[in-house]
Amino acid sequence: MARITLLGTGTCVPSLARSACAALVQTGTETLLIDSGPGTMRRLLEVGVSIDELTGIFYTHMHPDHTAELVPLLFATKYPECGRTRPLSIYGGEGFGAFFDQLKGVYGEWMDPGPGLVRLTELSVAQRDLFHQGDLAVLTAPVSHRPESLACRVVFSQGRSVVFSGDTGPSESLVGLAAGTDMLVCECSTPDAEAVPHHLTPSLAGEMAKAAKVGMLVLTHFYPACDKVDIEKECRRTYDGQLVLGEDLKPFDL
């Protein structure tokens, strides 16, 4: 059995209810973090996971609400009480290596936990990419947000899967990646009446979930405007399948 936990379902806009973007995938051998926005390490502790247990981090793109906790996470990993002895694999889209080097140019040894303890992999955004992390297979596809933006499909040993959209606008590649998945964790930034480019609204997210014939749609990445409308009602304009509005610390078992 795999467990998916939503760690942060908000944005960088301060909220007592929602941390910025992050989710956790746990299996028999792997503890994979999807993004690490501000507040991620605290949320990990709240679900009983320490940073030394992480085996990998996948970044959907490089905006601060998805990456800002990378530096403090690596800084914390330098200290003996964190106990990391095995490498931490970090994955990102094209340009992630240069992004990481720029961070090191600012923070230097403060974000270097030790020789061989960080392994970076830069993934293609021109086509689908595939990598394996322990007992997980992870398939990626480019989406409509930033040049380096990637959605990912995490496939478990028993064949079940979850797709994380990252930030995206309407995207045929996301529909293809999510086809038949058990769960689509999909961004839903603003209400239908406040749509902005390169992001989704409830009805747009519902359209893609319906087209992909997903088993469950889980909406996340809510800006404050979403708290003022009936997000579920708006999503139901286009989607009649199983629907969950994401909340921080909410777990799902597949």
Q: Tens digits of per-residue pLDDT, 76-87?
A: 998 877 778 889
In this predicted structure, the answer to whether residue 12 has a pLDDT above a threshold of 90 is yes
Fold (topology level) of 3-253 = Metallo-beta-lactamase; Chain A (3.60.15)
Q: d(Cα 209, Cα 174) in Å, to the nearest integer? A: 9
Q: What is the mean pLDDT of residues 217-222?
A: 98
Q: What is the mean pLDDT of residues 90-118?
A: 95
Which pLDDT does position 84 carry in this prediction? Answer: 82
Which pLDDT does position 165 carry in this prediction? Answer: 98
The identity of residue 66, as a single letter, is: H
For helices 70-77 and 96-107, angle between their N-to-C axes, nearest 10 degrees = 60
In this predicted structure, the answer to whether residue 28 has a pLDDT above a threshold of 90 is no
pTM of the entire predicted model: 0.97
Q: What is the side-by-side order of every strand in the sheet holding 22-26? A: 118-122, 88-92, 56-58, 31-34, 22-26, 3-8, 250-253
